[in-house]
A and B are shown apart, each in its own frame.
Chain A
Amino acid sequence: MIRVEGLTFRHPHTAEPVVRDISFAVPEGRLAVLLGPNGSGKTTLFKCMAGLWSPEAGRILFDGNDIADITHRDRARLLAVVPQEHTPPFPYSVMEAVLMGRAPHVGLYAAPSAADEDAAWTALCAVGVSHLAERPYTRISGGERQLVLIARALAQEAPLLLLDEPTSHLDFRNQHMVLETVRRVAAEKGLTVLMTLHDPNLTAFFAHQVVMLKGGAIVANGEPATVLTEENLGHLYNIGIGIVADAERRLIYPRLT
């Protein structure tokens, strides 16, 4: 379980903090989504949780341990981060890219062992992209690349998975496919997942828990069914929101006048 306590972050030389006194917790094995408009502090919160930026105040506790107190290497064994789209300068093969996930487990002067290659291969299979192993990582589709990054995160064997807008560059089908994969592997391995998303509908389909962020503060936190209401979403995005629901599904749409 991961718990954020009173987190405040301010960029150097600025007066206003980007996020202010944020507290929430995600229980073990749950999939939580950070939802909020651009500039709401999602990315800041995400970078703080990934241990990349140091908060001005507050703590991030994983199973009771403050992640600020541990080395990068130990942190990488606790939490795996799936970054947004990126291009490496060299066309590594997919297998080589996934092997990089083993970095926190490989000795300082060592190269990955056969056991590390096994772990990377198992991760590729778990995500269902083992057929890509030999392909250059720079020449696969955006959806495939996202899956490969998820495989790399799995190869880290960390109990907590952080994903930064995993669907932002993907087409309609791939958005669902990637999130479905995240949900499946998280359930199989009992991972706790936290991701940022832009789409309330995707959030409604996949999240166990929704944390709504606006202006650097939490405005709602709870199960999708109770949190994703016309009122909350309208307040979050400053537009009229309509929801059509039947027994199986809820569809959120903007009511622009």
Chain B
Amino acid sequence: MSDESIKELTPPFAKGGAGGISLTAVQPEQLRVPSRKLEEAHGRRIRLLSSFVFISPLLAAFVALFLGAYGVTPLQVLHIMANAFSGIDSPEAAIVLDIRLPRIILAGLVGMSLSTSGATLQAVLRNPLVDPFILGISAGAAFGCAISIGFLPGMSLQVMAFAFGGLAVLMACTMARSGGEISRLSLVLSGVIVSALFTALLSIIKFLVDPMKLQSIVYWLMGSFALADWPQVRSAGIGIILGCLPVFLLRWRLNVISMGDEEARTLGVNVSRKRIIFIASATLAVTSAVAVSGIIGWIGLMVPHLVRMLAGPDHRRLIPLTMAGGAAFMICADTAARNLTAADVPVGIITALAGAPFFIYLMKRGGAESWGK
């Protein structure tokens, strides 16, 4: 050690107060300019990309409106949309306004709900590897819906989906908890168990119901927007928006909660109450989506991670971007589902084909420590 560094080390032993070990001096000009400086540094790049993500659902929707088995040109689409309320009576108008538009809006809503819930659950459970599908919420909701379709035609699908989706998430979290801590791996495993359980129960129902109902359950389960219409948009839209709104409003608190229970508590956040609000909201959004679209997996895992790669982990940006990105992603996936083959392939198959390799990639990268900027 050089003489100088020894000299640097001595004073604090002897006298109190400032001095001693060299600390970066506080420059007066550093004390001004914080927010503006940060905005600049965060960069035009992120802002540009973010703006693109925000308008992407509209772009995707526009393209999706003129793609399909029945040829409609972009110009016709513009014309039909401009006169949507004056009522043109043509086959093109009927296809665009009554078939494609509700389907696109529903896909957008469902994509938004699944990815927003994914981001929320990842933060609240401090686990980058979870999403509603992996935790078994989707399977629980599907079971609830199947009961309703098969045996209780009077019960609302939305209510049954929420009840059993909530039960599923409760079971997964309770199973994974030991000594007040939830480990990442055991949570994923509990989700697998809960999914397996509800899938088995679902099979029993499929076995018991009459063949007519069986067919509609099976088709709906594969995850598809083929039957979308305006009433579905309305019934799912209410639950999805009610579920996403609290998450959007409280999104900054997700940063604090993701630091862990004790820390969030010492930072003044009522963790137990907030966690219930977040998980219940995420569950409501997901189960409302499942009730109209069946099980569509992996979106809740992929979209938040893609957004984190793009704009960092701060939930103030992450949540709005995930909402827009999820909507755009699902509209694209559904458009692909309708157009890739002559038949209308269930969109759940497309997202699973993309999602499974993505999950493996995340695991290999260590999941947690990914996506620093």
Q: How far is the CA of A109 from the CA of B264 in the complex (A)?
A: 16
Query: B23 in the interface, Cβ–Cβ < 8 Å?
Result: yes
Type the 1/0 row for B253-265, where 1 means its CB is closer than 8 Å to any CB of A.
1011011101111
The answer to whether A96 and B255 touch across the interface, beta carbons within 8 angstroms, is: yes
- Residues 48 to 87 of chain A near chain B (Cβ within 8 Å): 50-52, 71-77, 80-81, 83, 86-87
The answer to the question of A225 belonging to the interface, with a C-beta cut-off of 8 Å to chain B, is no
Q: Which of A181-189, A213-221, A230-238 contacts B (4 or more CB under 8 A)?
A: A181-189
**A4 at interface by CB-CB < 8 Å:** no
Which of A19-27, A124-132, A192-200 is found at the contact surface with chain B?
Answer: A124-132
Shortest CB–CB separation between residue B216 and chain A, in angstroms? 40
Q: Say if the beta carbon of A9 comes within 8 Å of chain B.
A: no
Please, what's the 1-or-0 string for B270-304, where 1 marks a CB less than 8 Å from any CB in chain A?
10000000000000000000000000000000000
Q: Is the interface of A mostly helix, strand, loop or mixed?
A: helix
Distance A93 CA – B46 CA, assembled complex (angstroms): 14
A90 touches B268 (CB 8 A): no
A76 to B258, CA, bound (A): 17
Which residues of A173-215 are within 8 A (CB) of B?
Answer: 173, 176-177, 180-181, 183-184, 187, 205-206
Q: Take A92-B313, A93-B312 as given contacts and tell me if A103 and B267 are in contact as well, using a CB distance cutoff of 8 Å.
A: yes
Q: Is there a chain A Cβ closer than 8 Å to B314's Cβ?
A: yes
Binds A, one of B28-36, B54-62, B236-244: B28-36
Q: Are B267 and A76 in contact (CB under 8 A)?
A: yes
B75 at the interface (CB under 8 A from A): no
Roughly how many angstroms separate A185 CA and B31 CA in the complex, as a whole number? 15
Query: Which of A86, A110, A129, A249 makes the CB contact (< 8 A) with B263?
Result: A86
B25 near A83 with CB under 8 A, answer no
Given contacts A130-B30, A187-B17, contact A205 B255 (CB under 8 A): no
- A-side contacts of B343, CB under 8 Å: none
Nearest CB of A to B183, in Å: 12
A139 and B372: CB pair below 8 A?
yes
User: Closest residue to B252 on the A side, CB-wise?
Assistant: A111
Q: Is the CB of B256 within 8 A of A103?
A: yes
Interface residues in B228-253 (C-beta closer than 8 Å to A): 249-253
- Check B16 against A183 for contact (C-beta < 8 Å): yes
Give complex CA distance A178, B347 in Å: 55
A120 to B17, CA, bound (A): 23
Please name all residues of chain A whose beta carbon is closer than 8 Å to the beta carbon of B42 when the two chains form the complex. Answer: 134
Q: From residue 1 to 55 of chain B, which have CB atoms closer than 8 A to chain A?
A: 9, 12-14, 16-18, 20-21, 23-27, 30-31, 34-35, 38, 41-42
Quote the shortest CB–CB distance from A68 to chain B (angstroms): 14
The closest CB in chain A to the CB of B262 belongs to: A52
B34 touches A117 (CB 8 A): yes
A89-B128, A100-B256 given as contacts; is B368 within 8 A of A120 (CB)? no
Taken together as a complex, chains A and B put the C-alpha atoms of A205 and B14 apart, in Å, by 8
Q: How far is the CA of A80 from the CA of B266 in the complex (A)?
A: 7
Query: Is B364 an interface position by the 8 A CB rule?
Result: no
Known: A122-B31, A131-B24. A52 touches B256 (CB 8 A): no
Q: Are B266's CB and A89's CB within 8 A? A: no
**Chain B residues positioned under 8 Å from A106 (CB to CB):** 252
Query: Which chain B residue lies CB-closest to A188?
Result: B18
Q: Given A76-B268, A101-B267, A109-B249: A88 and B259 within 8 A (CB)?
A: yes
Write the A119-150 contact mask toward B (1 if CB under 8 angstroms, else 0): 01110011011110110101100000000000
- Min CB distance B82 to A, Å, is 38
Using CB atoms, name the residue of chain B closest to A88.
Answer: B259
Which A residues are CB-close (under 8 A) to B127? Answer: 89
- Cα separation A167 to B372 with both chains bound (whole Å): 26
Contact present for B128 and A77 (CB under 8 Å):
no
Residue of A at shortest CB range from B248?
Answer: A109
Judging by beta carbons under 8 Å apart, are B24 and A129 in contact? yes
A96-B255, A173-B21 known; A83 and B263 CB under 8 Å? yes
Q: Are B26 and A126 in contact (CB under 8 A)?
A: yes
What residues of A have a CB within 8 angstroms of the CB of B251 in the complex?
111
Let me know if B316 is at the binding interface, CB within 8 A: yes
Closest residue on chain B to residue A121 by CB atoms = B34
Report yes or no: A91 in contact with B14, Cβ–Cβ below 8 A. no
Q: Is A112 an interface position by the 8 A CB rule?
A: yes
When A and B form their complex, which 8 residue pairs have the shortest distance between CB atoms, in order from nearest?
Answer: A76-B268, A121-B34, A104-B268, A90-B313, A128-B24, A136-B372, A81-B266, A91-B372
In the complex, 30 of the A-B residue pairs with CB atoms within 8 angstroms, ordered by the A residue number, are A50-B266, A71-B270, A72-B265, A72-B266, A76-B268, A83-B263, A88-B260, A89-B128, A89-B258, A89-B368, A90-B313, A92-B314, A93-B314, A95-B38, A96-B313, A99-B255, A104-B268, A114-B35, A121-B31, A122-B34, A128-B24, A128-B25, A128-B26, A138-B369, A181-B23, A183-B12, A183-B16, A184-B23, A248-B14, A249-B14
Q: What 15 new A-B contacts, CB under 8 Å, besides A92-B313, A111-B251?
A: A90-B308, A90-B368, A92-B312, A100-B267, A103-B264, A106-B252, A122-B34, A125-B30, A125-B31, A173-B21, A177-B23, A180-B23, A183-B12, A184-B18, A184-B23
